[in-house]
Structure 1
Amino acid sequence: MSNLETLELPLIAGDVTPCCPPVTSAALSEADSVRMATMFKALADPVRLRLFSRIASHPAGEACVCDIQDVGVSQPTVSHHLKKLRDAGLLTSERRGTWVYYRVGPAALPAMARLLTTG
Protein backbone atom coordinates (compact mmCIF):
# COMPACT_ATOMS: atom_id res chain seq x y z
CA MET A 1 0.00 0.00 0.00
CA SER A 2 1.35 3.39 -0.96
CA ASN A 3 1.39 6.54 1.12
CA LEU A 4 1.29 8.55 -2.11
CA GLU A 5 -2.05 9.57 -3.59
CA THR A 6 -3.01 10.95 -6.96
CA LEU A 7 -2.77 14.72 -6.81
CA GLU A 8 -4.65 17.30 -8.80
CA LEU A 9 -2.49 20.38 -9.24
CA PRO A 10 -4.61 23.54 -9.30
CA LEU A 11 -4.24 25.63 -12.43
CA ILE A 12 -4.82 29.29 -13.15
CA ALA A 13 -7.51 30.08 -15.78
CA GLY A 14 -6.66 27.63 -18.56
CA ASP A 15 -2.90 28.01 -18.13
CA VAL A 16 -0.55 25.24 -17.01
CA THR A 17 0.98 27.49 -14.36
CA PRO A 18 0.31 26.09 -10.89
CA CYS A 19 -0.96 28.27 -8.09
CA CYS A 20 1.93 27.56 -5.70
CA PRO A 21 4.15 30.62 -5.21
CA PRO A 22 7.95 30.39 -5.51
CA VAL A 23 9.47 29.07 -2.29
CA THR A 24 11.44 32.31 -1.92
CA SER A 25 8.38 34.58 -2.12
CA ALA A 26 6.40 33.32 0.87
CA ALA A 27 6.05 30.39 3.20
CA LEU A 28 4.25 27.46 1.60
CA SER A 29 0.84 26.52 2.87
CA GLU A 30 0.45 23.10 4.38
CA ALA A 31 -1.53 21.88 1.34
CA ASP A 32 1.04 23.20 -1.15
CA SER A 33 3.92 21.70 0.81
CA VAL A 34 2.23 18.27 0.90
CA ARG A 35 1.42 18.48 -2.83
CA MET A 36 4.96 19.43 -3.84
CA ALA A 37 6.69 17.06 -1.39
CA THR A 38 4.75 14.17 -2.92
CA MET A 39 6.04 15.07 -6.38
CA PHE A 40 9.65 15.50 -5.25
CA LYS A 41 9.47 12.31 -3.16
CA ALA A 42 8.36 10.36 -6.23
CA LEU A 43 11.37 11.69 -8.17
CA ALA A 44 13.82 10.97 -5.35
CA ASP A 45 14.34 7.40 -6.57
CA PRO A 46 17.01 7.00 -9.30
CA VAL A 47 14.94 4.51 -11.32
CA ARG A 48 11.88 6.78 -11.23
CA LEU A 49 13.97 9.77 -12.20
CA ARG A 50 15.39 7.85 -15.18
CA LEU A 51 11.92 6.72 -16.27
CA PHE A 52 10.55 10.24 -15.91
CA SER A 53 13.47 11.62 -17.92
CA ARG A 54 12.97 9.07 -20.69
CA ILE A 55 9.31 10.00 -20.98
CA ALA A 56 9.90 13.76 -20.75
CA SER A 57 12.64 13.68 -23.39
CA HIS A 58 10.95 11.25 -25.78
CA PRO A 59 10.69 12.82 -29.27
CA ALA A 60 6.97 12.03 -29.61
CA GLY A 61 6.08 13.69 -26.29
CA GLU A 62 4.91 10.34 -25.02
CA ALA A 63 6.55 6.97 -24.60
CA CYS A 64 5.31 3.42 -24.74
CA VAL A 65 6.32 1.38 -21.73
CA CYS A 66 7.96 -1.00 -24.21
CA ASP A 67 10.41 1.80 -25.20
CA ILE A 68 11.46 2.86 -21.71
CA GLN A 69 11.49 -0.32 -19.61
CA ASP A 70 15.21 -1.05 -19.99
CA VAL A 71 16.41 0.70 -16.82
CA GLY A 72 18.10 -2.24 -15.13
CA VAL A 73 15.13 -3.56 -13.14
CA SER A 74 12.45 -6.14 -13.88
CA GLN A 75 9.26 -5.26 -15.78
CA PRO A 76 7.05 -5.56 -12.67
CA THR A 77 9.40 -3.13 -10.89
CA VAL A 78 9.17 -0.71 -13.82
CA SER A 79 5.37 -0.88 -13.58
CA HIS A 80 5.55 -0.22 -9.84
CA HIS A 81 7.72 2.87 -10.36
CA LEU A 82 5.54 4.20 -13.18
CA LYS A 83 2.50 3.85 -10.92
CA LYS A 84 4.25 5.86 -8.21
CA LEU A 85 5.00 8.63 -10.74
CA ARG A 86 1.38 8.56 -11.95
CA ASP A 87 0.01 8.65 -8.41
CA ALA A 88 2.18 11.70 -7.64
CA GLY A 89 0.65 13.55 -10.59
CA LEU A 90 3.87 13.54 -12.59
CA LEU A 91 2.64 11.27 -15.40
CA THR A 92 -0.55 10.51 -17.25
CA SER A 93 -1.13 7.24 -19.06
CA GLU A 94 -3.30 5.77 -21.78
CA ARG A 95 -3.74 2.11 -22.67
CA ARG A 96 -3.66 1.33 -26.38
CA GLY A 97 -4.18 -2.34 -27.02
CA THR A 98 -1.67 -4.25 -24.92
CA TRP A 99 0.68 -1.27 -24.37
CA VAL A 100 0.48 1.71 -22.05
CA TYR A 101 1.73 5.11 -23.22
CA TYR A 102 2.96 7.70 -20.73
CA ARG A 103 3.21 11.51 -20.90
CA VAL A 104 4.45 14.05 -18.40
CA GLY A 105 1.45 15.57 -16.60
CA PRO A 106 0.72 19.04 -18.01
CA ALA A 107 1.21 20.86 -14.71
CA ALA A 108 4.06 18.76 -13.26
CA LEU A 109 7.13 20.54 -14.63
CA PRO A 110 5.66 24.06 -14.38
CA ALA A 111 4.69 23.36 -10.74
CA MET A 112 8.17 22.22 -9.76
CA ALA A 113 9.89 24.95 -11.77
CA ARG A 114 7.74 27.71 -10.34
CA LEU A 115 8.27 26.51 -6.79
CA LEU A 116 12.06 26.60 -7.25
CA THR A 117 12.13 29.95 -9.05
CA THR A 118 13.16 33.07 -7.20
CA GLY A 119 10.45 35.63 -7.23
Structure 2
Amino acid sequence: MTNRLDVARKKMARWRLLRILYTGRPLPVGEGLIAEVLNDQDLALTAGEITNMINYLENKGYIESTTVTPAGEGSHMEAKLTAHGTDYVEYSVADDAGISRPAQD
Protein backbone atom coordinates (compact mmCIF):
# COMPACT_ATOMS: atom_id res chain seq x y z
CA MET A 1 0.00 0.00 0.00
CA THR A 2 1.38 3.40 -0.98
CA ASN A 3 1.75 5.98 1.74
CA ARG A 4 -0.49 9.02 1.09
CA LEU A 5 2.27 11.38 2.20
CA ASP A 6 4.64 9.82 -0.34
CA VAL A 7 2.03 10.20 -3.11
CA ALA A 8 1.52 13.87 -2.19
CA ARG A 9 5.31 14.40 -2.20
CA LYS A 10 5.61 12.89 -5.69
CA LYS A 11 2.76 15.03 -7.03
CA MET A 12 4.36 18.17 -5.60
CA ALA A 13 7.77 17.18 -7.03
CA ARG A 14 6.22 16.71 -10.49
CA TRP A 15 4.85 20.26 -10.36
CA ARG A 16 8.22 21.61 -9.25
CA LEU A 17 9.96 19.71 -12.05
CA LEU A 18 7.62 21.30 -14.59
CA ARG A 19 8.38 24.72 -13.08
CA ILE A 20 12.14 24.08 -13.33
CA LEU A 21 11.79 23.21 -17.01
CA TYR A 22 9.53 26.23 -17.57
CA THR A 23 12.21 28.48 -16.09
CA GLY A 24 14.89 26.88 -18.28
CA ARG A 25 12.94 26.99 -21.52
CA PRO A 26 13.50 26.94 -24.41
CA LEU A 27 16.70 25.08 -23.52
CA PRO A 28 16.71 21.57 -22.06
CA VAL A 29 17.69 21.17 -18.40
CA GLY A 30 20.06 18.38 -17.32
CA GLU A 31 19.10 15.77 -14.76
CA GLY A 32 21.90 16.90 -12.44
CA LEU A 33 20.53 20.43 -12.20
CA ILE A 34 16.99 19.10 -11.83
CA ALA A 35 18.11 16.88 -8.93
CA GLU A 36 20.03 19.71 -7.30
CA VAL A 37 17.09 22.12 -7.41
CA LEU A 38 14.52 19.56 -6.26
CA ASN A 39 16.71 18.39 -3.39
CA ASP A 40 17.44 21.99 -2.36
CA GLN A 41 13.67 22.26 -1.89
CA ASP A 42 13.84 19.55 0.81
CA LEU A 43 12.25 16.82 -1.30
CA ALA A 44 15.11 14.31 -0.79
CA LEU A 45 14.47 12.46 -4.05
CA THR A 46 16.63 9.60 -5.26
CA ALA A 47 18.01 9.50 -8.80
CA GLY A 48 15.54 6.68 -9.53
CA GLU A 49 12.59 8.76 -8.32
CA ILE A 50 13.64 11.67 -10.53
CA THR A 51 13.98 9.35 -13.53
CA ASN A 52 10.52 7.92 -12.79
CA MET A 53 9.07 11.44 -12.60
CA ILE A 54 10.64 12.38 -15.92
CA ASN A 55 9.25 9.20 -17.52
CA TYR A 56 5.80 9.84 -16.01
CA LEU A 57 5.66 13.43 -17.27
CA GLU A 58 6.98 12.37 -20.67
CA ASN A 59 4.31 9.65 -20.98
CA LYS A 60 1.68 12.30 -20.17
CA GLY A 61 3.05 14.53 -22.96
CA TYR A 62 4.25 17.37 -20.72
CA ILE A 63 7.97 16.98 -21.39
CA GLU A 64 10.47 15.45 -23.80
CA SER A 65 13.70 13.86 -22.62
CA THR A 66 16.85 12.80 -24.41
CA THR A 67 20.02 11.04 -23.36
CA VAL A 68 23.12 13.06 -24.19
CA THR A 69 26.64 11.62 -24.36
CA PRO A 70 29.26 14.38 -24.69
CA ALA A 71 32.64 13.30 -26.07
CA GLY A 72 34.76 11.75 -23.35
CA GLU A 73 32.03 11.97 -20.70
CA GLY A 74 29.31 9.73 -19.35
CA SER A 75 25.76 10.06 -20.61
CA HIS A 76 23.09 12.06 -18.85
CA MET A 77 19.44 12.88 -19.41
CA GLU A 78 18.10 16.29 -20.41
CA ALA A 79 14.45 17.31 -20.43
CA LYS A 80 12.41 20.21 -21.78
CA LEU A 81 8.76 21.20 -21.80
CA THR A 82 6.50 20.42 -24.72
CA ALA A 83 3.90 22.93 -25.87
CA HIS A 84 1.35 20.98 -23.78
CA GLY A 85 3.65 21.24 -20.74
CA THR A 86 3.96 24.98 -21.21
CA ASP A 87 0.17 25.27 -21.46
CA TYR A 88 -0.17 23.26 -18.25
CA VAL A 89 2.28 25.44 -16.31
CA GLU A 90 0.53 28.56 -17.64
CA TYR A 91 -2.88 27.21 -16.50
CA SER A 92 -4.20 27.09 -20.08
CA VAL A 93 -5.32 23.44 -19.81
CA ALA A 94 -7.28 21.42 -17.25
CA ASP A 95 -5.71 20.23 -14.02
CA ASP A 96 -4.10 16.77 -13.84
CA ALA A 97 -4.77 14.60 -10.78
CA GLY A 98 -1.21 13.25 -10.91
CA ILE A 99 0.39 16.68 -10.45
CA SER A 100 -0.03 18.95 -7.45
CA ARG A 101 -0.50 22.23 -9.32
CA PRO A 102 -1.45 25.05 -6.93
CA ALA A 103 -4.69 26.94 -7.47
CA GLN A 104 -4.29 29.83 -9.88
CA ASP A 105 -4.16 33.27 -8.29
TM-score (norm. length: structure 2) = 0.59
- The yes-or-no answer on 1:100 pairing with 2:72 is no
1:83 maps to: 55
Give matches, 1:48-67, under 5 Å: 48-58=14-24, 61-67=27-33
**Cα distance change of structure 1 residues 85 and 67 upon mapping to structure 2, 3 Å threshold:** same
Identity %: 10
The answer as to whether partners of 2:68 and 2:77 remain within 8 angstroms in 1 is yes
Give matches, 1:23-34, under 5 Å: none
The answer as to whether partners of 1:62 and 1:102 remain within 8 angstroms in 2 is yes
Runs of 5+ unmatched residues, structure 2: 1-9, 39-43, 70-74, 96-105
| Greater relative contact order (Cα < 8 A, sep 6+) | 1
* Larger Rg belongs to: 1
Q: How many residues align?
A: 73
Find the aligned partners of 2:93 and 2:26 in 1 and give their Cα distance: 25
1:68 maps to: 34
Helix, strand or coil: the match of 2:80?
Answer: strand
Helix, strand or coil: the match of 1:69?
Answer: helix
Find the aligned partners of 1:115 and 1:45 in 2 and give their Cα distance: 16
Quote the offset at 1:108 in angstroms.
3.0
Dislocated runs of 4+, deviation >3 Å: none
Query: Which one-letter code corresponds to 1:50 in the other structure?
Result: R
Write 1 or 2 for the structure with the bigger share of helix.
2
Find the aligned partners of 1:80 and 1:47 in 2 and give their Cα distance: 11
TM-score (norm. length: structure 1) = 0.53
Helix, strand or coil: the match of 1:113?
Answer: coil
